[in-house]
Amino acid sequence: MALCSAPWLLPDGTRCLLQTNPPHLDLAEDLATLLNLNECSALNTLQHRYRSHLPYTYAGPSLVAIRPGPTSGTHAGKVRGRDSTAPHICSVAQRAYRTLLAQRRDQAIVPMGRSGAGKTTSCQLALEHLVGMAGSVDGRVSVEKIQAMFTVLGAFGAVSTEQNSSSTRFSMILSLDFSAAGRITAAHLQTMLLERGRVAQQPPGESNFNVFPMMLAGLDVAQRTTLHLHQVAENNTFGIKPFSKPEEKQKASVAFTKLQAAMDVLGITAEEQVAVWRVLAGIHHLGAAGACRVGRKQFMHFEWATHAAEVLGCELEELSTAVFKHHLKQILEQAAARSGGRPSEEEGPSGQKMTGVECVEGMASGLYEELFAALVSMINRSFSSQHLSVASIAVVDTPGFHNPRHHGGQRAATFEELCHNYVHERLQGLFYERTFVMEMERYKEVTGCSSWPPHPIPGDPRDTSTLWQLQVLPGSPGADRKGLLWILDEEVLIPGSGDVAPLMALLLFAGAGYVRRCEQALHFEIPHQLGTDPVRYDLAGWVSKAKLNLSAENASQLLQQSQLNALQELAMPRRGVPRVCRAVAGLEGCSQAALQRNACIRKVFASSLAAVRRRSVCAQLKLQADALTSLLRRSQLHFVHSLVPGTTMEKADPQPLDVPALRAQLGGTQLLDALRLRRSGYPDHLLLTHFRRRFQVLAPAVMKKCTSAYEVPDESKAIEELFQALDLEKKSVAIGRSQVRRHHPGCKVPCPETQSSHLPRPMEAMGFRQLSFFGLG
């Protein structure tokens, strides 16, 4: 690799930087090897490889993955053999595994990209590869269980869109914990940001969660009768209905059988499965019951409401109270708030009262969120163990970047899509932080050279991308540092002004040039992806969505107080979870690693008590995104940039590439800037301890000395001894106290001199091409 990657020790004597190119790397397999690193040559390379059925390409430490054609199967560009370094998601997983073993440091694989680009598929492939390769200590984690988990999550957490029959609508982190011997001890699933409102409302052309039509097609007659699903409501306000075409019904029925088998694999008992279908049937019946739009808040169709109460194991009166009339305490609070002139909780931040329809929708979405969390708990139960672990590899899957324009759609984006795009931008911010900010800080720390890099670096998405900008924009209305999500919050909303409130707030931002007002009323455009991918949003109904829905909050209580034991038990694992972080699922687990991860999430929620106390929906969304990034910050990150080959899903394989779409995606990733920075700096570094651990095997005497249980080794000395033992020329290994300086290419300030050494063969075989040290000042 033609990189300037002189390895070196940091002045504190704790680290060295080194070139760790995998051996046998074909030049065309890494964009970093391009002599002429510009957009044109990078696109050419990607196109050429894609047409040759090689959808994966390295970009330095990151992976670029173009979604392969439909006939490629999920093994497109199959990793060549177990130790292959060919670009592939499995190679990334393997690299994370090797680094974990060598450094005992947590790793995370983070795919990013547009919706439908193949992130979920990448996550599944990576996990299957890791589990298949490392094996688990007592069989608690197996490839079969991982596949079953994706089947369950695909049914309960994904929806069908025109582009993707399984578009993910929640964020997840699956952590695999490893023992010192490199075997998997346990797995731990944590989910957040579930698009729960989807249960009641879907944008045109998109479905409810995939599990509903599956269940309606797959349940046997007896179950259908018990759950009152043998007759279909004429009009279900949530759009939950069975497929009408026989072939679709048949497909859904097969998918349901597969889902039941997956639940069996995960140890979800028959009783628990029945409880799950009961909750889903309850949601279906609530949709059929509907609510009166005028007059008293009550169900529109009592027959269906009675069915809902029956399958949920409660009386109709109880259900009605939980949905429409909130508890006495809340009513008293409301009265007190009225007398104080402050909007009550029930009225929501904008001072509006919840409508009957919102109450029913709230209960359905709350029930679905509880059900999803219960499933996550059951999955964790199947994966958990008490074995000790040394570090973990997390695989992260989030909904992709959404823009209806990508598929030629006419509709504007929704509030939920804004939330998904916000999370995507948070991950991009993390990429920027790790790739640019930390790299520059490290360079400055070591060399004292502040004029590096010699070329301009791209804008920080946290400053230039709109959602971030809105979040940190000083002087935003009513407060100092507020974000778009906060705009919808109570501090900015003008009580009683309905949808006009966020519109007015956005107008203020439009005045500042961050948001463009469209011709259509309530439509705004936000220039996402550093301005390369503007999204038009329709603000209609956003106030209602940003409002605390007390019916949703009552859902957990309804399940806990159900007369049916199976439903009570479904809600049991989450009994102790505080209300503030109920939107996060998977906060159980007893191993030390799971407890640490949960503590990390709880700390995020505890750190923003003010937001939590306000019980603001928008604050909740932001805190969940904070929790996700906090968990990731603990790890070494391996980014996978997933790209869609074209704007439409073609049957051809490989698909014809839409070059402008590819260019826009590549521009949004900032990958080429990252590669330029990498070329002019020092790309890799290791703690001396990690360096010693990795190579001490070459010198058994040194290894014996350093692995004594009673002594902490002096790492500098140990490495000197290691090199002596390896018979490296002394002059080529300078780990002394003198410092030589020279002018580094492209840098005006003298930088530490590097001295190359010839590597012993075993080291070359371990993937090092060049290794050199400079003396310390």
Please enumerate, by residue number, every residue annotated as part of a binding site. Answer: 113-120
Question: Which residue, 159 or 488, is less far from ligand ATP as judged by CB?
Answer: 159
Question: Which residue, 116 or 681, is less far from ligand ATP as judged by CB?
Answer: 116
Ranges within 390-419 binding ligand ATP (CB under 6 A) = 399-400
Smallest separation (angstroms) from ligand ATP to the CB of 205 = 14
Ranges within 372-391 binding ligand ATP (CB under 6 A) = none
Question: Which residue, 167 or 385, is less far from ligand ATP as judged by CB?
Answer: 167
Smallest separation (angstroms) from ligand ATP to the CB of 214 = 17
Smallest separation (angstroms) from ligand ATP to the CB of 598 = 25
Of residues 120, 175, 253, 384, which one binds ligand ATP by CB under 6 A? 120
DSSP 299: B
Smallest separation (angstroms) from ligand ATP to the CB of 68 = 4
Written as one string, the DSSP assignment of 423-488 is HHHHHHHHHHIIIIIHHHHHHHHHH--TT-SSSPPPPPHHHHSHHHHHHHBTT-TTSSSB-HHHHT
Cis amide leading into 453 (omega within 30): yes
Of residues 44, 160, 166, 330, which one binds ligand ATP by CB under 6 A? 166
Q: Does 115 bind ligand ATP (CB under 6 A)?
A: yes
Question: Which residue, 347 or 397, is less far from ligand ATP as judged by CB?
Answer: 397
- Look up residue 398 and give its two tokens: 């989030």
Question: Which residue, 119 or 301, is less far from ligand ATP as judged by CB?
Answer: 119
H or E stretch including 174?
strand 171-178
Contact 228, 281 (CB under 8 A): yes
Three-state SS at 566 = helix
Q: Does 348 bind ligand ATP (CB under 6 A)?
A: no
Ranges within 627-646 binding ligand ATP (CB under 6 A) = 642
Angle in degrees, CA 725, 727, 733, rounded to 5: 95
- Look up residue 631 and give its two tokens: 């968990």
Q: Give the interface segment with ligand ATP, choosing from 110-118, 305-313, 458-466, 668-676 (CB under 6 A).
A: 110-118
C-alpha distances in angstroms, 315 versus 279, 305, 308, 309? 15, 10, 9, 6
Question: Which residue, 400 or 752, is less far from ligand ATP as judged by CB?
Answer: 400
Contact 130, 394 (CB under 8 A): no
Of residues 67, 679, 693, 694, which one binds ligand ATP by CB under 6 A? 67
Smallest separation (angstroms) from ligand ATP to the CB of 211 = 16
Question: Which residue, 406 or 545, is less far from ligand ATP as judged by CB?
Answer: 406
Question: Which residue, 92 or 305, is less far from ligand ATP as judged by CB?
Answer: 92
- Look up residue 541 and give its two tokens: 């109904």
Looking up tokens 């499933």 gives: 375
Q: Give the interface segment with ligand ATP, choosing from 68-76, 524-532, 624-632, 745-753 (CB under 6 A).
A: 68-76
Contact 624, 97 (CB under 8 A): no
Query: Which is nearest to 59 in space by CA: 92, 82, 98?
Result: 92
Smallest separation (angstroms) from ligand ATP to the CB of 327 = 38
- Look up residue 466 and give its two tokens: 């709109």
Binding site feature residues for ATP: 113-120
Smallest separation (angstroms) from ligand ATP to the CB of 125 = 7
Q: Give the interface segment with ligand ATP, choosing from 29-37, 116-124, 529-537, 664-672 (CB under 6 A).
A: 116-124
Q: Does 74 bind ligand ATP (CB under 6 A)?
A: yes
Smallest separation (angstroms) from ligand ATP to the CB of 167 = 3
Query: Which alpha helices (H) appear in 168-301, and where do they start and end?
Result: 211-218, 221-226, 246-265, 270-289
Question: Which residue, 84 or 166, is less far from ligand ATP as judged by CB?
Answer: 166
Question: Which residue, 38 or 52, is less far from ligand ATP as judged by CB?
Answer: 52
Three-state SS at 714 = coil
Question: Which residue, 117 or 601, is less far from ligand ATP as judged by CB?
Answer: 117
Contacts of 407 (CB under 8 A, 6+ apart): 162, 163, 647, 648
Smallest separation (angstroms) from ligand ATP to the CB of 104 = 31
* Binding characters for ligand ATP, 145-164, by CB under 6 A (x = yes): -------------------x
E strands within 351-411?
Answer: 391-397
Q: Give the interface segment with ligand ATP, choosing from 109-117, 289-297, 612-620, 659-667 (CB under 6 A).
A: 109-117
Contact 547, 345 (CB under 8 A): no
Q: Does 171 bind ligand ATP (CB under 6 A)?
A: no
What gap in Å lies between CA 61 and CA 637, rounded to an integer? 10
Strand ranges of the sheet holding 523-528, from the earlier edge strand across to the other edge: 516-517, 523-528, 533-538
Q: Does 655 bind ligand ATP (CB under 6 A)?
A: no
- Look up residue 413 and give its two tokens: 């984006």
Of residues 7, 61, 68, 349, which one binds ligand ATP by CB under 6 A? 68
Q: Does 202 bind ligand ATP (CB under 6 A)?
A: no
Of residues 45, 62, 103, 121, which one binds ligand ATP by CB under 6 A? 121
C-alpha distances in angstroms, 613 versus 357, 492, 616, 617? 26, 17, 8, 11
Contact 621, 419 (CB under 8 A): yes
List contacts with ligand ATP (CB under 6 A): 67-68, 72-74, 76, 115-121, 164, 166-168, 399-400, 642
